[in-house]
Structure 1
Amino acid sequence: MRIAIVNDVLIIGEALRRVITNTQEHEVIWVARSGEQAVQFCMNNRPDLILMDLVMPGMDGVEATRQIMQNSPCAILLVTASPEDNTGMVFRALGAGALDVAATPLITGQPGTDLALLSKIRTIGKLISADAQTARPASPRSNSSANHEQEPEVLVAIGASTGGPMALAKVFGQWTPPEDGAAVIVQHIDQNFTDSFASWLGDQIRVPITVIDESTRLARGRIYIAKTNDHLVMDGRHRLSYSATPLDYPYRPSVDVFFQCVAKYWQKPAVGVLLTGMGRDGARGLLAMRDAGKTTIAQDQTSSAVYGMPRAAADLNAAEMILPLDKIGATLRQRTQRNGE
């Protein structure tokens, strides 16, 4: 891949350049020392991937990510010294369109951090390849309760990737599960940041988020989020757990895998929602939900940070409704209230 580096510290930028150039897979096409410079360089010579620092004087990594995704969009991986100390900035940048976050190998001094960075870069390379396929049209589809431990009567399954954190905050700012309902989120994010993401999202919407452990039963009035890099699955008894297979699937956790479980095993009313994201994940799962008689919604192009996953769903005619982000919450209210349909 053609990779660019954005970091205001010379020694860190050089260390990142060495990590990249020591491989035979990638090349560094430019290094920017500020967010402003990165925006200009990207317009003149757009890379496949940017390694973006967060904390910089002047334009920080959040604003640089926002402007790049608006003017000359490309894949962005946040690479910063202490991600856990800047969770607010991390999730704002993810909401602006960054794909993932990694610790800077030089600063952490932890063995294997350069290998971890290269592993994330390879995964993003697979996502970029999958996203390129998204541009080709796919084959069209043929024509609060006192007892929260009770199983929900209605389930909302939401999948998101690039730009997902801010999109999810917007949706849950307008809608939360009714007393007899529950929501499950599958967001593409590294498992090391899931707990921080759940805490951040809960702060945005003032509703507690339950991070799903192994063998979890759904309860009413709650919002759940997938925790690991394995795939979230549901069995016939509606228990949630994780599966490593398919091993070679680039999207982890996969929205498709969970949506297909909902289509197969959830016999009660359900709504599938596919939000902004790179690639095609979730489209076939959303189609399976629609074929099973569930309500299906995809975010529209204008309001998506990256119109990859929702576009794939539109190509498959998997979405009953294609809606702007600010209309999804109201539609969920209508479709999940008692006797709402």
Structure 2
Amino acid sequence: MRVAIVNDLVIAVEALRRVIATTPGYELAWIAHDGAEAVAKCQADTPDLILMDLLMPVMDGIEATRRIMAQSPCAILLVTASVNSLAPQVFEAMGYGALDAVRTPVLGLSGQTDGGAGLLAKIATIAKLIGKSPRQRSYSTPPLKSHPQLLPPLIVIGASTGGPQALAKILSQFPATFRAAVVIVQHVDAQFAPSFAHWLDSQTLLPVQLAGSNCKLEPGKVWVAGTDHHLVMHPDLTLGYTSEPQNCSYHPSIDVFFKSVATHWLQPGIGILLTGMGKDGAAGLAKLRTAGWHTIAQDQASSIVYGMPKVAAELGAAVDILSVGAIAPTCIKRAR
């Protein structure tokens, strides 16, 4: 896999270069020292993956991501030293098509890099998604018995590349009196989850919080998956986390969550699969539809990456294929 580095700091470039060099099969494509240089180099020689810094002179990583995804799209992983303080910029860049974000490895005095393992794990996940490593087997959640109780309307949403902006647009249209419970699985590293939930909370009139273990759903609230384990629904209809299956390309997995909801939630709700690379969530959406849910896939025109919703459409998993702007009105109408 050919990997490019975009960073204006020499020491950061060297740390990234050394991490890439430790893995057979990874090749350094080129190095750019600002976003404008990266856009030009990407047009001339598009790599498989770009490790993109956010704060750079001439052109920052947000604008570079936007232009690259519009002109010569490829996988982009944001690599920055200040992940928490730059959370809004991270989510904006992900809205333009960046896949994920991770801290920049630190090059020590001994020449060793701290944080290289986390970067390599992210690169390996992206390699699976773009077909540069063997595919993993799919997983099915075993059926379990459910317990009847009075349930609020439930909306479950899965998203990946471009998801933050799509989610913000949808949630911003829900009124403060909206009585459905909303649960979101967004492909984002656990270290960004608290900032992501806080950012989403600022985009909507509904309260947004991280889903905790044994979390009971309530109407008019939004929960976001908050760890690298899979969010699941338990037989007692509370939310929780599990490390299995471990062979999923994404942690948390949308498929794992959707399938657990289809198994345990007694009252059909609304399942939504938004923009994203790969196919996570498509099989889960199909299971929700089979269970009687109203299922929605985002359309191609409004998707940053028409991967996951495309697979869902091809599987016949979606009752509706809608633009991102039409999803919230449909949810409001059906949740009444």
For the criterion TM > 0.5, the same-fold answer is yes
Following superposition, the deviation at residue 252 of structure 1 comes to 1.1
Q: In the aligned structure 1, how far is the partner of 2:151 from the partner of 2:124?
A: 39
Q: In the aligned structure 1, how far is the partner of 2:269 from the partner of 2:283?
A: 16
Q: In the aligned structure 2, how far is the partner of 1:270 from the partner of 1:104?
A: 41
Equivalent position of 1:256 in the other structure: 255
How do 1:1-341 residues align onto structure 2 when only pairs under 5 Å count? 1-106=1-106, 112-129=114-131, 152-175=151-174, 179-337=178-336
Equivalent position of 2:139 in the other structure: none
Higher helix share: 1
The TM-score, its normalising length taken from structure 2, stands at 0.91
Tell me which moved more, 124-133 or 242-251: 124-133
Query: Tell me, what secondary structure is at the counterpart of 1:129?
Result: coil
The TM-score, its normalising length taken from structure 1, stands at 0.89
Deviations 1:49-97 (A, max 9, x none): 1000000112110111111111111111101111112111111111111
Query: Tell me, what secondary structure is at the counterpart of 1:12?
Result: helix
Computed over aligned residues only, the root mean square deviation of the Cα atoms, in angstroms, reads: 2.1
Query: Tell me, what secondary structure is at the counterpart of 2:102?
Result: strand
Query: Tell me, what secondary structure is at the counterpart of 2:106?
Result: helix
Aligned pair count reads 321
Tell me which moved more, 17-26 or 1-10: 17-26
Following superposition, the deviation at residue 10 of structure 1 comes to 2.5
Counterpart residue type for residue 335 of structure 2: T
Q: In the aligned structure 2, how far is the partner of 1:261 from the partner of 1:165?
A: 23
Counterpart residue type for residue 11 of structure 1: I
Give unmatched runs, 5+ long, in structure 2. 136-148
Deviations 1:198-217 (A, max 9, x none): 00111122432121111111
Q: In the aligned structure 2, how far is the partner of 1:209 from the partner of 1:118?
A: 31
Counterpart residue type for residue 261 of structure 1: S
Q: In 1, are the aligned partners of 2:206 and 2:220 still within 8 Å (CA)?
A: no
Q: CA, structure 1 residues 157+130, in 2 after alignment: closer, same or farther (shift >3 Å)?
A: farther
Following superposition, the deviation at residue 232 of structure 1 comes to 0.9
Counterpart residue type for residue 76 of structure 1: I
Give unmatched runs, 5+ long, in structure 1. 134-149
Q: In the aligned structure 2, how far is the partner of 1:169 from the partner of 1:180?
A: 18
Q: Percent identity?
A: 51
